[in-house]
Amino acid sequence: MREDSVDRHLAHWGKEIPDLDPLVEGVITRMQLLVKHLKQNRSSSAEAHGLEVHEYETLHMLGGCGPDHRASPTEIATWLKMSPAAITGRLDALERRGFIRRLPVPGDRRKVIAELTPAGRRAWREAGSAEGNEEARLLAVLKPAEQQQLAGFLRRMLAEVDRPDLLSTPKDARGGADAQGGATDG
């Protein structure tokens, strides 16, 4: 197997820190570098499609909200782990660009629902497709059985730190309520 930058990192730090565990350091550093690469790729993919990463993330959230692609500002804020006030600015900008529209909540005109427009869906899907292609390219260096093995190893590692709020989804599969148990009219 050919040497990578982490091997050089380990050679250097192994001299400086004699009790450094090269296996732990190597695995964790490689995971961190892969995540860094994927984040940079997400940013580049979004930018190549005329989006900021935060715009892509907001469109992605709405894209995952069932066939109507709608959510309340509160649901969006919960999923993105932001304050509702911060979401207002994002929605304003996305609405100006024609990527979302705000609709009144039936029975309560003070509340709104954000809905992904066809232009917003197109922008989200194009940027996401480029991101997904890079993820698939990286995983393709492993044989299918190795991919399954890696998935199992990562699942076991994640189980050590996982908790219900670590990774949420826009809305649960039953619809109506978000994954956090909130109402859809916020």
pLDDT in tens, 30-70: 999 999 999 999 999 999 999 999 999 999 999 999 899 99
Please state at what angle helix 53-63 crosses helix 73-80, rounded to 10 degrees. Answer: 120
Q: Which of 164, 106, 135 is nearest to 42 (CA)?
A: 135
How many other C-beta atoms are found inside a 10 Å radius of the C-beta of residue 97?
15
Predicted structure pTM score: 0.80
Does residue 158 have a pLDDT over 70? yes
Q: Which of 173, 175, 177, 170 is nearest to 79 (CA)?
A: 170
Can you list the domains of the chain with their CATH numbers?
Answer: 5-158 (1.10.10.10)
pLDDT band at 106 (very low <50, low <70, confident <90, very high): confident
**pLDDT given for residue 176 in this prediction:** 46
Q: Residue 97 has which token pair?
A: 């660009």
**pLDDT given for residue 167 in this prediction:** 77
Q: Residue 69 has which token pair?
A: 């692609």
**pLDDT given for residue 139 in this prediction:** 97
**Each residue's pLDDT tens digit, 118-129:** 999 999 999 999
pLDDT band at 170 (very low <50, low <70, confident <90, very high): confident
**What HEC string does the chain produce?**
CCCCHHHHHHHHHHHHCCCCCHHHHHHHHHHHHHHHHHHHHHHHHHHHCCCCHHHHHHHHHHHCCCCCCEECHHHHHHHHCCCHHHHHHHHHHHHHCCCEEEEEECCEEEEEEEEECHHHHHHHHHHHHHHHHHHHHHHCCCCHHHHHHHHHHHHHHHCCCCCCCCCCCCCCCCCCCCCCCCCCCC
Does residue 174 have a pLDDT over 50? no
**Using an 8 Å Cβ cutoff, are 14 and 7 in contact?**
no
Answer left, alpha or beta for residue 21, where phi above 0 means left and psi between -120 and 50 means alpha. Answer: beta
